Chains A and B, each alone.
Chain A
């Protein structure tokens, strides 16, 4: 079972966490101003990269805080964790990160 480094609690087993999908998909400022298609993109469309992926996680059976993590979907390696609302950290020379 994978260990996920909660920014508040440290490494904990993955069963304590809840997955929240792609990070940095902001709720639109003015949904009413969006076309049906643009709104549907927000509601239904997410990236599905093979490689580093910025995701939302919640330590739901622990401190109950949401945070963001960059995870390599090929290896499950967690490359970085950072607070919700913060921009994704620079991961240097890694493969292109999809967010």
Chain B
């Protein structure tokens, strides 16, 4: 089908190339330079989709990103929902359909690349319309590094949608000339298809560049599709233009009803007529130009309906000369039609003579004045001022680093826009430290300034017929009407922020670009207050929708977060270990043999550790080398027990609390020398503990001579566990007396392992399983060789590698808590039953004073206990609640606590759990209940230590 509404000439499109596309199942063609919207209009298609609430047909209201209605779903080349047809550049093969207000995300991962780039500049200019171009040129000629970002695919801004002369040049060509000069100026970066969507502090601006979207299927796979520019500018000039404002009347939402300036843009930029016969409804002069241009291009413009009592005489005369009737003091009161407008009802305003009439038309062009685009200025914390002549909020006081130029200030004529652009560019360059050389000569604008000021009209007066549905739409995307606004004010809402939330006006993809100001006006009118007293709703980033993919950039998939692996990782992978994420670390979870599920593998691994010998990779344990004269004193403050008294060669378990007395970490402290300790932390808290140390050392006790260094990754740490661990170590450490007398529990020895040419090792008698155990520490470089040597040496004892799951079971059988699993930020060492690790003698340590607070001594605090399900086969879910009765009372059900750990134990030959329970320590022996699904599982409370209570096994 030929594009019947495409004019034979004109527009910034490449007519020699045809692009095929499919919309709502219909095949059509357009040209490079088209948007999907302009190509659809060229094919006579106005109805895009249906509205979200009422299912009413909706069309294309505006030509740019402010359009509230033309939501489409792209199907090919890649599914993408909720784009506006007015911002999708046409490409060959595009398949799309209109949306009923909601879209569908792709079910497959987006194959495109996204990235980010940083740029610093002296002057950032947002918007390459007339004001922005002159501002950029002025600053650039003064030597400033300038970045220009513009939303469109070419410079010109509003000039692209008009056909006027600047000096001798057609305004579109003038814009192209300036853009070319800027591109050829060293130190100037011009980014088109780039929307500045957020302005933040200290000159930071985020902009989204659509680099390959317009190429469709031809987009190169290796080029980033979209790029987020992170711009840091000393000075910013906002030349963001203005959006035309509609007027609200009955049935103002039919396809074919469009903003007048946008119709002019479709004509001049794309060579498209919006229909065959138009009525123009306006409150200002600008729509006359649209009427005259469209009539000149061959459209039948039936009538200009001007709400002002008198029409501008020169423009009205030009209309009459073209056979366009002009009705001053008249308004459009309603429309007829279905998927397209068919008639406009025109009536005189009170005080104007005339009769209501109905004018047949397929296009109704509306103009209610212009709203400066103040979004970015407001984001920059600029205050806004209501301009009663414009009926819009305009930038108030200038900011030190952010200036506004052009129609974004409320300027309506081209000459003022150009002058403001030059002034802003000059001032910005000056403020950034540049003295501009000479003045940029401004071209003379041929466009006339307005003859008459516009009239502020939010909605056509008139009452709704009793019982009739309100079709006076304020926010077309949210299907919100005048009645909805009145309902909000009727409910007592005064603030625009509240009205916005009550009505949802301004919360759709367009964020109320065409509806926000009208809402403010309606509210003020209804409340009888001045708009100057109303605060507009906050403009928040992003200015236009930005995909999460673009914000994520390269930080997705394996680049989302670094994965840390130990020196032994390749061995674990080769042995088929399953991995668990602990912080950023990949830790072996368990090592299944062929045919084993997790339960079977873990039971086997546990049995090996308790009955033979087993080993695990403990390298992820946080390790901090603490040196200095006062290291012992410092540790005394950090840990609940006394570390300064620890003898060189010995090890002590320590608990660390916050000032509130709650447990924040635990680990062991090894004394290497009088002035040197090695502190271990839990895997997930290593960074936090180092920060904690630095905070106290730098801010509270800078007089202490202590230096803390993270050495976590220097070491490979291998706990060798089980009754036969001594035999294995003895073989590999010939110089080390591994006997209990010479090498007792909680001591460490340095030795050289008989591995290769000899590997220096530090061996610690630490046990996190309750079994005889030696923690073998070697440099990470030697880790794999030592691990393999231990595996080989232990083979005759059936040495078994185990993972974190087995580690958890073994420690839980012994009642050893895991910080962050048994504890949250409300658990004291006393709650854990670890008063033994809290010094009574020390004058102070962090948290000590809190331990004597009444709240921390209540007998009904939640305390760590063991729970044995009466049925030894039932494994309780972690996180399950604990209650005291065998049937649930009516809610609220008193909760006694919750399960923190739950496992199946090989050693106990049954299931068991750890839990924090109110007054738990006193409840040992009691039966409590755990709701699981519809059942209440009876459990017996026990001490938290369930295996080897005497500690007989630790010495082998």
Residues of A within 8 A of B (CB): 1-3, 11, 18, 20, 26-28, 30-32, 34, 36, 39-40, 42-44, 56, 58, 60, 64-66, 75-76, 84-85
B843 & A32 in contact (Cβ 8 Å cutoff): yes
Quick one: closest A residue to B198, CB to CB?
A: A1
| B313 part of interface (Cβ distance < 8 Å) | no
Report Cα–Cα, A76/B200, bound state, in Å. 11
Chain A residues, Cβ within 8 Å of B849 = 28, 31-32, 34, 39
A65 to B697, CA, bound (A): 10
Shortest beta-carbon distance from A95 to chain B in Å:
18
- When the two chains form their complex, are residues B201 and A84 in contact, meaning their CB atoms are under 8 A apart? no
**A2 x B202 contact (CB < 8 A):** yes
Asked if B699 and A18 make an inter-chain contact with CB atoms under 8 angstroms apart, the answer reads no
Distance of B692 from chain A, by nearest CB (Å): 11
With most chain A CB atoms within 10 A of its CB, the pick from B204, B659, B691, B699 is B699
| A58-B202 CB under 8 A given contacts A26-B700, A31-B844, A31-B849 | no
Kindly list chain B residues whose C-beta atoms are within 8 Å of the C-beta of A20.
695, 699
Residue among B381, B700, B702 making CB contact with A27, cutoff 8 Å = B700
Instruction: Determine if B694 is an interface residue (Cβ-Cβ < 8 Å).
Output: yes
Are A36 and B854 in contact, CB atoms less than 8 angstroms apart?
yes
Q: How far is the CB of A12 from chain B (nearest CB, A)?
A: 11
Q: Across the interface, do A1 and B201 meet the contact criterion of CB distance under 8 Å? A: yes
Most chain B CB within 10 A, of A11, A43, A64, A76, is at A43
List the 6 closest pairs (A to B, CB-CB), nearest first. Answer: A31-B849, A2-B201, A66-B698, A3-B202, A1-B204, A84-B699
Q: How many residues of B contact A (CB 8 A)?
A: 21
Taking the closest CB of chain A, its distance from the CB of B686, in whole angstroms, is 14
CB of B814 closer than 8 Å to a CB of A: no
Checking A18, A76, A84 against B698 with a beta-carbon cut-off of 8 angstroms, the contacting residue is A84
Smallest CB separation, A24 vs chain B (Å):
10
A2 cross-chain contacts in B, Cβ below 8 A: 200-202, 204
- Residue of B201, B691, B700, B843 near A60 (CB, 8 A) is B691
B754 within 8 A of A: no
Contacts of A31 in B (CB 8 A): 844, 848-849
Interchain residue pairs with CB less than 8 A apart (21): A1-B204, A2-B200, A2-B201, A20-B695, A20-B699, A28-B849, A30-B844, A31-B844, A32-B844, A32-B849, A34-B849, A36-B854, A39-B853, A43-B659, A56-B699, A58-B691, A64-B694, A66-B694, A66-B695, A75-B381, A85-B699
- Interfacial chain A residues near B381, Cβ < 8 Å: 75
Name, among A3, A26, A31, A85, the residue most crowded by chain B CB atoms within 10 Å (CB to CB): A31
| Given A1-B202, A2-B202, 12 further pairs, Cβ under 8 A | A1-B200, A1-B204, A3-B201, A20-B699, A28-B849, A34-B849, A42-B659, A64-B694, A66-B694, A66-B698, A75-B381, A76-B201
Chain B residues with CB below 8 A from A85, complex form: 699, 702
Contact B660–A43 (Cβ < 8 Å): yes
Q: Contact between B850 and A43 (Cβ–Cβ < 8 Å)?
A: yes
* A37 → B minimal CB distance (Å): 10
B843 touches A84 (CB 8 A): no
| Complex-state Cα separation, A44 to B204, whole angstroms | 35
User: Bound state CA distance, A65 and B691, in angstroms?
Assistant: 10
Q: Which residues of B in the span 687-707 have a Cβ within 8 Å of any Cβ on A? A: 691, 694-695, 698-700, 702
CA distance A42 to B699 in the complex (A): 15
Please name all residues of chain B whose beta carbon is closer than 8 Å to the beta carbon of A34 when the two chains form the complex: 849
Complex-state Cα separation, A27 to B638, whole angstroms: 13
Report the minimal beta-carbon distance from A99 to chain B, rounded to whole angstroms.
14
Q: Chain B residues near A18: list those with CB within 8 A.
A: 691
A41 to B850, CA, bound (A): 12
On whether A39 and B850 interact (CB within 8 A), knowing A32-B843, A32-B844, the answer reads yes
Whole-angstrom distance between the alpha carbons of A66 and B696 in the complex? 10
Q: Which residues of B contact A56 (CB under 8 A)?
A: 699
Neighbouring A residues of B848 by C-beta, 8 Å: 31-32
CB distance from A86 to the nearest CB of B (A): 11
Closest approach, in angstroms, between the C-beta of B231 and any C-beta of chain A? 11
Question: Are A65 and B698 interface neighbours, CB within 8 A?
Answer: yes
Nearest CB in chain A: distance from B817 CB, A: 23
Interface contact B699-A36, CB-CB below 8 Å: no
B residues in contact with A26, CB < 8 Å: 700
Q: Is the CB of A84 within 8 A of B200?
A: no
Contacts of B699 on A, CB cut-off 8 Å?
20, 56, 66, 84-85
- In the docked arrangement, what's the CA distance between A64 and B197, Å? 33
A77 to chain B: closest residue by CB: B201
Give residues of chain B (639-665) contacting chain A, Cβ–Cβ below 8 Å: 659-660
A residues in contact with B691, CB < 8 Å: 18, 58, 60
In whole angstroms, what is the CA distance A14 to B381 when docked? 18
B659 proximity list for chain A (CB < 8 A): 27, 42-43
How far, in angstroms, from A59 to B141 measured CA to CA in the complex? 39
Chain A residues with CB under 8 Å of B702's CB are 84-85
Per-residue CB proximity of B872-894 to A under 8 Å, as 1/0?
00000000000000000000000
The minimal Cβ–Cβ distance linking B110 to chain A, given in whole angstroms, is: 25
Question: How far, in whole Å, are A77 and B850 apart by their CA atoms in the complex?
Answer: 36
Shortest Cβ distance from A20 into chain B, in angstroms?
7
The interface residues of chain A lying within 8 Å CB-to-CB of B201 are 1-3, 76
Q: How far is the CA of A28 from the CA of B850 in the complex (A)?
A: 13
CB-nearest residue of chain A to B843: A32
List residues of chain B with CB within 8 A of the CB of A39.
849-850, 853
Query: Which A residues are CB-close (under 8 A) to B698?
Result: 65-66, 84
User: Measured between alpha carbons, how far is A95 from B699 in the docked complex, in Å?
Assistant: 26
Q: How far is the CB of A17 from chain B (nearest CB, A)?
A: 12
Q: Which residues on the A side are within 8 Å of B694 (C-beta)?
A: 58, 64, 66
A56 nearest CB neighbor, chain B only: B699
CB distance from B519 to the nearest CB of A (A): 28
Residues on A with C-beta less than 8 A from B844 are 30-32
Q: How far is the CB of B907 from chain A (nearest CB, A)?
A: 42
- Closest residue of chain A to B700 (Cβ to Cβ) is A27
Q: How far is the CA of A42 from the CA of B700 in the complex (A)?
A: 14
The residues of A that contact B853 with a CB separation of less than 8 Å are 36, 39-40
User: Could you tell me the distance between the alpha carbons of A90 and B698 in the complex, rounded to whole angstroms?
Assistant: 23
